Amino acid sequence: MSDINSYLLAPFGVHYYNSSVGRLALGGMADSKQLAATTGFFTTANAAIFIPFRVMTPTRINKMFLVNGTNVAGNIDLGIYTDDGIRLTSNGGTAQSGPNTVQILSMSTARRVHPGQYYYMAVACSSSSAGIVVEAGTPAVALLQMMGMARVTSAYPLPATVTLAVQATDRQVIHFGFISEEA
């Protein structure tokens, strides 16, 4: 599997990245010693998963990534939303490609996010057979609800606005995130 750190060490001016299991998202609320990855599948075609995150400094987001599993299928859309469901940016959808790799996508518009607010990173997929890397094990739905994970059905491609629904059934934490520069 391609290593996201190898990409970040390249001369792109990238300062850091955050992921769904990073310290400023769900990983900051979970016991990091329990985190381990495995291949899973997107649970429902055209649904979107929303993971809350925050930043510590003003940050410009211009790329996002998804860690693909062994099987690639359909199209993916990655984006950033405000905590009240307004899309700030997304890639608009692209074919999932490259099994067992980190797929990096440019956003339609680079956006700045600021400390003191919560945001959501979102991933949607047009296929339920798309292979993705997820956390091994199945956290309790109540724990994911407490951490702020949300889900929206019929959300591919990612819409301009969403009403975030409580995470009721999915128990997978998908490995995806954003690549950023300090603003």
pLDDT confidence bin for 19, thresholds 50/70/90: low
Decide if pLDDT at 180 tops 70: yes
Domains of the chain, each with CATH number or no CATH = 33-182 (2.60.120)
Q: What is the per-residue pLDDT for 96?
A: 95
Contact 179, 18 (CB under 8 A): no
Q: What is the per-residue pLDDT for 133?
A: 81
CA–CA gap between residue 19 and residue 174 (Å, rounded)? 9
